[in-house]
Amino acid sequence: MRYATVGEAGPLVPAVILGCGNFGGIGSPKEFLGKGDNRETAFEVMDAARESGVSMFDTADAYAGGLSEQWIGEWLASRNARDDVQITTKVGGPADGGRGLSRDHIRRQIAHSLKRLGVERVALYITHTTDDSVPIEETVGAFEELVAEGKIGAYGMSNFDAPGLAAALAVGRPVNVQNGYNLFDRRWASDMLALASSERVGFTAYSPLAGGLLTGKHRGGEPPAPGSRMALRPPELTDLTIERAFEVLPRLIELADAHGVSLTTLALAWVLTDPGVTAAVVGPRSAEHLKPMLAAVDLELTTAQRAELTAVVDG
């Protein structure tokens, strides 16, 4: 595993961060509560991640109604792992305490998150999305207070565009931005990656495998496996249609074979070898699924090899 500091003053994070959005549900929607990984599987995945040097787990107060944070807290306590694993969690999504990025909501939700996680501090606290009803000065001010109080180590933004990040940087010092980024969803990213790099803000990519599309397990014209994330929450691609994605998958699989790796490994390596990317957040559904993701850390792709993959997608 390799590690890098997020931004200038953020925590040291592994190249692969464990995403815990499948613990107990599939993300935040209440209709998916109970349709994600069970507690036993979640613990097995966390064990495998820790053993592999994955020293940061990513969650949110809204994931499975708080169950994701709760299970992480129970795992941390049962494994005596609080010194080995850092936590990043999010606020502002649809949680039981409401949603939004007001000062009162942020302060209320961090208290709930810390209690569920069983910790006094999280390494990185991130907005789950934007909130146009609240001035960015209020949101950033609340985060700065929590840093000063020692309840969070640093803070960042998720699902922000470049102007939104610029506005946050004008009034504070977020160290990280976390947005979706993968071979099938990338054209929006040039402005954000350029801004993050120039301002020395870390960039962590979520959905680096396009919600499972880039694992190569799914085929066009065939229904996804029952209970899979693809079946429950198909990815929302911005750069091309699902149909087009399925059209290019065979060629991407051929290129993965040529590299002697799975498509999962190749697609994730494409993300990790982007010089603007600090780390990628992955959501394996089992300890076995984590292995090809970890292999991507050691797969070095040249600029030409990355360009070849994007050219396949762009046609």
Q: Is residue 114 part of a domain?
A: yes
pLDDT at 53: 98
pLDDT at 231: 67
Q: Is residue 294 part of a domain?
A: no
- 103: domain CATH number? 3.20.20.100
pLDDT at 221: 65
Q: Is residue 260 part of a domain?
A: no
Structural domain total, the chain: 1
The pLDDT confidence band at residue 60, using thresholds 50, 70 and 90, is very high
pLDDT digits (tens, 9 = 90+) for 75-131: 999 999 999 999 999 999 877 777 899 999 999 999 999 999 999 999 999 999 999
Q: Is residue 262 part of a domain?
A: no
Rounded to an integer, the average pLDDT of 22-51 is 93
Full domain range(s) for residue 148: 3-211+274-285
pLDDT at 4: 97
Q: Is residue 155 part of a domain?
A: yes
pLDDT at 242: 84
Rounded to an integer, the average pLDDT of 193-198 is 96
Query: What share of the chain in percent tops pLDDT 70?
Result: 97
Annotated active-site residue 63? The verdict is yes
pLDDT digits (tens, 9 = 90+) for 125-174: 999 999 999 999 999 999 999 999 999 999 999 999 999 999 999 999 99
| Catalytic residue chosen out of the listed positions 3, 63, 155, 181 | 63
pLDDT at 51: 98
pLDDT, averaged across the chain: 94
Q: Is residue 77 part of a domain?
A: yes
Q: Is residue 25 part of a domain?
A: yes
Q: Is residue 89 part of a domain?
A: yes
pLDDT(298) > 90? yes
User: What pTM, to 2 d.p., does this model score?
Assistant: 0.95
pLDDT(307) > 70? yes
pLDDT at 188: 80
pLDDT(234) > 90? no
- Tell me how far apart the alpha carbons of residues 134 and 167 are, in angstroms, rounded to a whole number: 13
